[in-house]
Structures are given as structure tokens and as C-alpha cells.
Structure 1
Amino acid sequence: MESNQTNRALIKATVIALSVAVVTLVLFILPAEYDIDPTGVGKKLGLTVFNQDGESPSAKTSTDGDQDTVVVTVPAGKGIEYKLSMMESQQVTYEWQTSNGELYVDLHGEPDGDNTGYFKSYTVATVESMKGSFVVPFNGSHGWYWKNNTDKDIDVQLIFSGEYIVEGLK
């Protein structure tokens, strides 16, 4: 008899955990990561802002002379990433500046297919602006992580050109 009660409790706990996981996926993860918001809750909670450009990635090359410009808001006390998919030896030229304060920045890359958490930092600083270029040493996702350690939101205007596919906010 006690075994049946244990089995029922285990099944009940499993069903509850599965239900919570599905609700979390639909309400939070899909809107924030994939801009899929079937309930509209993600938009109301501001989760779809991470996918606000709504564009599918497009390839850019340094030979076309185009520049991309994006303005992102780094919320008070939080961090965000803006990423580009690049192949080994491709180059990007960039310039960014903040609206009203310093941000911690880590310009870095993560190799394609790596699941160990490895990344290579190219620049780490706490500044209001930065200008430069970089050539990537491996195929992967490369870009900027900004952390706002203040109590007010800070906008970043990022201008860049080169060889890449835009991944956008992560």
C-alpha cells in the first residue's frame, strides 16, 4: 500500500514539474529567446525587446561599404549582449558610445559548437565609448557584452561594418 502512495506522489510531482516547465517555456523562454509569443505575456513583460529588430539575419561584407547602426538599452543593474556570427579571419570595424554613463564591456567570441563555456575576450574595459576593429581567430559568435552597474538605463549606439551575419541581442 505504501508503495502505491509513493508512486502516486512521484507521478504527481512529475506532472507538476512538467507543467511548470511548459508554462515557463511558453510565457518566458520562447518570447525572450525566439520572439515567439503565443500568449502576449512576453510582450507585456518586456521580454520580446531582446528580439526587437524582428529581422532575420542578413549577411554583410566589407566590400559593400554598408554600415549597420543599432541602439540598444542596457537596463539599470543588468547586462546584455549584441552578437555577430563570423567566420575565421573575418573583420569588423566598430564604434559605440553611451548616452549617459560608463558601462563595463567585454568584446569577445565563442567558437561554434563549443558547449564548455569557453570564450575569448578581445577587449575588457569600463568606458563611455570605444572605437576599433577586430579579426576573429575562429568561426563563431562574436560581439559585445555590456553591463550597467548604475541605477539608470543607459543607451548604447553601435555602428559597425565588415564581414558578418547579424545575430542581434542575446
Structure 2
Amino acid sequence: MKTNETHKKDSMNILPVHSTASLIKASIAATLIASILLVLIILPSEYHIDPTGLGQYLGLTDIAEASTSTMAPTQTPTKNKVTSSTLEQTIQTVPTIETLTDIIQARSTLSVRSDIIDIVIPAKKGLEYKLLMDKFTHLTYEWRTDGEPLYFDFHGEPKGDKTGYFESFSITTSTQMKGSLTTPFAGSHGWYWKNQTNDPITVTLSTKGDYTIKG
């Protein structure tokens, strides 16, 4: 028969075993915390993507803008002119947020280029300008008109899609816009501008990222 002392020693040698349910709960909690940090802190401060508006309130988006402004270009900007017009687009959906690991991995392998282009939007017509980009690649951009505001739709179209599906990232009427995008899918990404005035309007567009110009 074991003594009380021996029984106590045997009890001390028994290691606690975590159940499968507790491990699953811990994994879910860790995933939720990582997702919250991604949306509230990392995307606004690193990529100027602020779906909740909290990043702008806390000043995190200013960090992303400062980081973008200090990045040195690796290619001398080129300047071109485009005058063809296209059909007007409409809103379909909003962009999705992918995992932080995929975004960081894609951004670390960028082949960065930069371009400056003048795009003439004819009177009473619309024009589209697109860049071909892979999934999870990063783009920073800035454009402004020579005076008058333009209606625009900044959107992307998945590679190989034949249904007409696209995602709109920003839609408004303005004389200028500055921002960044981490692409949610491979395909063409760019802008549609519509000139509702009686005179041509020139848009000067600056872009920097890993892309091929589709025009």
C-alpha cells in the first residue's frame, strides 16, 4: 500500500494535458487578435488602408504617407499622353482584406517602378487607364487635374474573368486624389474618369509599384 507521501509524489509527476477544444479556442483567439491588429493598426500605418476610420483618428495613416514620401524611386519617371475613351463603370462590391503574411511576402519581393503620365479626358466623354498587377502587390498613386473636377472610379478587374465583374476601391468627384492599394487579386487595376464639362481636362497621374502599363 502506498503511503500518503508516495501518493503526493505520484500526483506531482502527472503532467496536465490540454484538451483539443482548449487548443482550438486558443488558436481562434490568436487569429482574432491578429486580424484586429491587422485591420486597426497595421493596414492604416503600413498601407494607408483604413476600413474603420480609426487609423486616421489615431494618426496612423500619416505614418503610411510619410513612409511613401521618403521612398526613393528606382526608375526615372516617364511621361506620355493618352486620348482614347471608354465606357463608364458602376459599383459592384468592395475590396477584400487578405492575410498579413501574404501581404508582407508579396511586398518584400516587389520590382518597383515609377511613372508620370498626362491623360487628356475629352469634353463630355470618359476615359479609362489601367495597370496590370499580380495578387498582393503594392501601388502608391497620386493624380490631379489642371483645374476642373472629374467623376472617377478607381477599381480592379480579375485576370481571366469574362463575366464583367470588378471591384471599386474609391468613387467620387474631385480635382485630385492620393492613396495606395494592395491588390486583392491579379488583373487590371486603374481609373475611369468622366469629363462632364465642355472642354478637355488633363489629368497628371503619378504611380509607383510593381506593375505593367496596360493603358
User: Is 1:160 aligned to 2:202, yes or no?
Assistant: no
Under a length normalisation based on structure 1, what TM-score does the superposition of the two structures give? Answer: 0.61
- Following superposition, the deviation at residue 92 of structure 1 comes to 0.7
- Aligned equivalent of 1:150: 197
* Equivalences for residues 21-100 of structure 1 within 5 A: 49-50=83-84, 63-64=111-112, 66-100=113-147
- Structure 1 pair 49/124, CA: closer, same or farther in 2 (3 Å)? closer
How far apart are the structure 2 equivalents of 1:76 and 1:62? 38
Contact 1:62–1:161 (Cα < 8 Å) also in 2:
no
Q: Point out the structure with max Rg over C-alpha.
A: 2
1:110 matched to 2:168? The reply is no
Aligned partners of 2:83 and 2:121 also within 8 Å: no
TM-score (norm 2): 0.49
Task: State the shift of 1:63 in Å.
Answer: 5.0
Q: Deviations over 1:9-63 (max 9, x none)?
A: xxxxxxxxxxxxxxxxxxxxxxxxxxxxxxxxxxxxxxx943xxxxxxxxxx855
**Number of residue pairs the alignment of both structures matches:** 111
Identity value in percent? 48
Over the aligned positions, Cα root-mean-square deviation in angstroms equals: 1.9
* Counterpart Cα distance in 1 of 2:111 and 2:159: 25
Residue identity matched to 1:115: K
1:113 counterpart letter in structure 2? G
CA distance in 1, matches of 2:158, 2:111: 25
Contact 2:83-2:119 within 8 A present in 1 as well: no
Match of 1:131 among 159, 178, 182: 178
Partners of 1:85 and 1:150 in 2: CA distance? 30
Higher relative contact order (CA 8 A, sep 6+): 1
Shift, 1:134, TM fit: 0.6
Find the aligned partners of 2:191 and 2:206 in 1 and give their Cα distance: 12
How far off is 1:100 after superposition?
1.9
Higher strand share: 1
1:73 and 1:90 map into 2 onto residues whose CA distance is 27
Structure 1 stretches of at least 4 aligned residues deviating more than 3 Å after TM superposition: 61-64
Matches of 2:192 and 2:83, distance apart in 1: 16
Instruction: Give the match's secondary structure for 1:67.
Output: strand
Structure 2: gaps of 5 or more residues: 1-81, 85-108
CA distance in 2, matches of 1:82, 1:110: 12
Structure 1 62/158 Cα, relative in aligned 2: closer, same or farther at 3 Å? farther
